């Protein structure tokens, strides 16, 4: 627990500091985390980073997360990226005479989308001018509040198992506690900046962040259970890997953008 707390404080302080600074420092951090996250994903699926299908996955991730527009470079649409990546991965199955199977190609395509678009959404939200910092902290804070509320309410009041076959320790009471705390945090943001966000919209963001964040956690738990691993990596002692820590945000940020609750 001591190691977990120390790592959490240091990593959290770095993330907060670079989020405040923004710009290329924040983008560089998330690009690095995206690369590490995809490396963890490939390793979970038994694919070496140097395998052709993994290299294509890395290329897909970078096409999503690199700030091409800031470099005055045109980049294909997300749909074009996904189609081209799918085509190239399927071509690998032919070139390798099915040593890379269609299942393996599909896994790399999924990983590039899951990791690449998830981190790209975080970069996009922070890049919103002039309120990118506000929207980023709102999204981060609601998701963290959901996680914190679920943990402490679950320990204090948890009786009914939420999804024991996926995550045995999570409870319905904990999940509801997470939703409530996320709504409280969203309300505080609205009350502190009423000209930026009204209360109904803040509550919608808080609700979506809580529900989607908990689903993000469960998604990663389900995948680790299938692969029979405890953590996706060892980057953060006491916490696991990048995908262990960012699993909720990888779902929350894209959904908040796609639903139009955050300005694009």
Give the pLDDT score at 76.
83
Compute the distance between CA of residue 212 and CA of residue 82 in angstroms, rounded to an integer. 23
Percentage, residues of the chain above pLDDT 70:
98
Q: What pLDDT digit, counting tens, does each position of 131-163 carry?
A: 999 999 999 999 999 999 999 999 999 899 998
For the chain, state the CA radius of gyration: 19
Whether 179 and 207 have beta carbons less than 8 Å apart is answered as: yes
- Number of alpha carbons in the 13 Å side-chain half-sphere of residue 171: 15
Task: Render each residue's pLDDT in the chain as its tens digit; 264 residues.
Answer: 677 778 778 888 999 999 999 999 999 999 999 999 999 999 999 999 999 999 999 999 999 999 887 777 888 888 999 999 999 999 999 999 999 999 999 999 999 999 999 999 999 999 987 799 999 999 999 999 999 999 999 999 989 999 888 888 899 999 999 999 999 999 999 999 999 999 999 999 999 999 999 999 999 999 999 999 988 988 877 678 999 999 999 999 999 999 999 886
Q: Looking at residue 199, what is its pLDDT? A: 96
- Record the tokens describing residue 82, joined without a space: 């996904």
Residue found by looking up tokens 């939420």 in the block: 162
Q: Are 38 and 62 in contact (CB under 8 A)?
A: no
What 8-state DSSP symbol labels residue 116?
I
- Contact indicator for 137, 146 with CB cutoff of 8 Å: no
Residue 208, both tokens: 């979506």
* Contact yes or no for 171/161 (Cβ under 8 A): yes
């Amino acid at each position: 627990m001591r190691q977990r707390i120390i790592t959490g404080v240091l990593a959290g302080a770095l993330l907060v500091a670079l989020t405040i600074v923004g710009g290329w420092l924040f983008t560089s951090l998330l690009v690095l985390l995206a690369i590490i996250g995809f490396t963890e994903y490939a390793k979970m699926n038994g694919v070496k980073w140097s395998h052709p299908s993994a290299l294509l996955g890395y290329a897909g991730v970078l096409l999503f997360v690199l700030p091409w527009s800031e470099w005055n470079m045109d980049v294909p649409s997300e749909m074009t990226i996904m189609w081209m990546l799918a085509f190239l991965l399927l071509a690998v199955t032919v070139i390798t005479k099915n040593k890379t199977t269609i299942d393996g190609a599909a896994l790399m395509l999924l990983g590039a989308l899951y990791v690449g678009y998830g981190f790209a959404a975080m970069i996009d939200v922070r890049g919103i001018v002039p309120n990118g910092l506000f929207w980023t902290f709102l999204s981060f804070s609601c998701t963290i509040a959901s996680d914190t509320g679920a943990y402490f309410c679950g320990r204090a009041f948890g009786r009914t198992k939420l999804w024991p076959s996926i995550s045995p320790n999570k409870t319905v009471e904990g999940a509801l506690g997470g939703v409530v705390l996320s709504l409280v945090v969203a309300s505080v943001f609205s009350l502190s900046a009423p000209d930026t966000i009204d209360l109904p919209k803040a509550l919608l963001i808080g609700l979506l962040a809580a529900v989607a964040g908990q689903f993000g956690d469960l998604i990663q738990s389900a995948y680790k259970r299938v692969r029979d691993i405890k953590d996706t990596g060892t980057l953060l002692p006491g916490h696991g890997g990048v995908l262990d820590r960012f699993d909720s945000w990888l779902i929350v940020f894209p959904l908040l953008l796609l639903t139009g609750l955050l300005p694009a």
